[in-house]
Amino acid sequence: MAIKRILVYPEGCLKQVAKPVTVFNDKGLKVLVQDLADTMYDAPGVGLAAPQIGVSLRVAVTDVDWRSEDGIKNHQVWINPEFLWKSDEMEIGEEGCLSLPDIYGDVERPNAVRLRWYDLEGKPYEQDFEGFQAVALQHEFDHLDGKVFIDYFSRLKRNMIIKKLKKKYLS
């Protein structure tokens, strides 16, 4: 459909809790999902949430495998996702974000999750995920709650990053 501009933190709805989707099987929702996928692949990234393109809805797409050797694109759609469980076992990994260009840092997250979500038609699903997929889901769904990965950093480090982003992208 269209490649959208990705907001740079702390712009717009990146700091707001997104609203749940209440109307499914709707042309506008399908266009939003396609725009998210097109924008994610163009960036390139492995996930993108609706608030990152300025839409305050609980919608995200991920494709953690498309940059592998086969290069097949097969994005997953997550509407109104909800974590039902997160493991006590934690994993530390480096994260980056399309809304925080050129910023990377280690984040500690549960390495397994159980998730409930809906598809474009409103059909519910529930499944367990682990490893990189679990981390990617937590990262993307943080956006739906107005959070970004630097929120896990110390206040001093976070403030330095925000100052750098504002100077480079928002002045």
Nearest by Cα to 35 from 58, 61, 13: 61
- DSSP H or E stretch at residue 38: helix 27-42
Other C-beta atoms within 10 Å of 28: how many? 10
59-62: long-range contacts, CB 8 A cutoff, minimum separation 24: 59/18, 59/21, 59/29, 59/32, 59/33, 60/36, 60/140, 60/141, 60/143, 60/144, 61/33, 61/36, 61/37, 62/133, 62/136, 62/137, 62/140
Whether 140 sits among the annotated catalytic residues: the reply is yes
Catalytic positions are: 140
